[in-house]
Amino acid sequence: MGNDEQFVGVTKVRMRDIMKWQAERWLKRKDLSYKVPHTKKTKIHEIYSNREFGTITWIGHVTFLIQLSGLNIVTDPVWASRVGFEKRLSKPGIMLEDMPEIDIVLISHNHYDHLHFNSIYQLKGDPLFLVPKGLKRLFLQKGITNVKEFNWWDCMLHKQLELTFLPTLHWSRRSLLDLNKSLWGGWMVKERSKTIFFVGDSGYHPIFKKIGRSYQIDYALIPIGAYEPEWFMKQQHVTPEEAVQCFQELNASTFIPMHYDAFRLADDTPKEALDRLKKAWNKRKGSKKLMILKLGETLDL
């Protein structure tokens, strides 16, 4: 998709590499007893009726409820109990039936742990779906017509919000025949006083420096999991250390980690991801903030 200068992504996933990874995986023994904690102070009633204050609530995995300018925005809505053969490790922080009416849904790409139509069908309200280029056709096939498609760097104004689709280093596939037939990326959500960057999935890439020069970012929602083995995952998922580097290059004010709690998509565990993140964070200098949200926790902006 796009010309060579614009392309950011994985062009080929080799079957022999997948088989090598799976063979290695059988030899590993991992401790999965640690569970990412849920907040004891879920603000369900407050966020349900909120149309005034800015908030970010972590539902789990890559699903957030962002409330800005009186709008309810959901990122990559996935309440699934399993993805493929992987059972969910932790329950969502807020159950789907407790969610408020949604105005906008932001989709980063078409992988099953980011795009779950059974969750989408159960969202309340009549949301507008913003999707990567090449993905609108699938939504129409699924009977969802309120969809707008975006190329990288495309921007839309919606009431008081500016929403921009930005490139990341990843790939797309949902079947055997659709490798990279649709784009992938992150979403910049900007209002007058706050800017939030939802990265989606990504390996490390210099594109983050360009994005950091182009925006003044308050909150960066960055993945830290699904990085092991690094020889295989490097082109699609950042390590916790690379996530910190991405945050620094984005020059954002607050780092909120995601994509480590719910589905074991690679060989790392939630505790390993968090431990490595904290270690890498403590090595850096500066006044930036790391906010490790609990599941269901709401951050008032």
CATH of span 41-300: 3.60.15.10
Q: Given this model, what pLDDT does residue 10 score?
A: 60
Q: Given this model, what pLDDT does residue 8 score?
A: 64
Q: Given this model, what pLDDT does residue 3 score?
A: 38
Q: Given this model, what pLDDT does residue 266 score?
A: 94
**What does the pLDDT look like over 45-80, one tens digit per residue?**
999 999 999 999 999 999 999 999 999 999 999 999
Q: Running along the chain, 301 residues long, what does each successive block of 10 average in pLDDT?
A: 48 71 78 94 93 97 98 98 92 97 98 98 98 98 98 96 97 90 97 96 95 97 97 94 97 98 95 97 89 98 94
Helix (H) or strand (E) holding 128: strand 128-132
Q: Given this model, what pLDDT does residue 148 score?
A: 98
Q: Given this model, what pLDDT does residue 9 score?
A: 60
- State the number of CA atoms in the 13 A half-sphere of 152 facing the CB: 19
Domain residue spans of the chain = 41-300
Torsion of CA 275, 234, 59, 244, to 10 degrees: 50
Q: Given this model, what pLDDT does residue 284 score?
A: 85
Sheet containing 147-150: order of strands = 147-150, 128-132, 104-106, 71-75, 63-68, 55-60, 298-300
Residue 166 three-state SS: strand
Q: Given this model, what pLDDT does residue 12 score?
A: 62
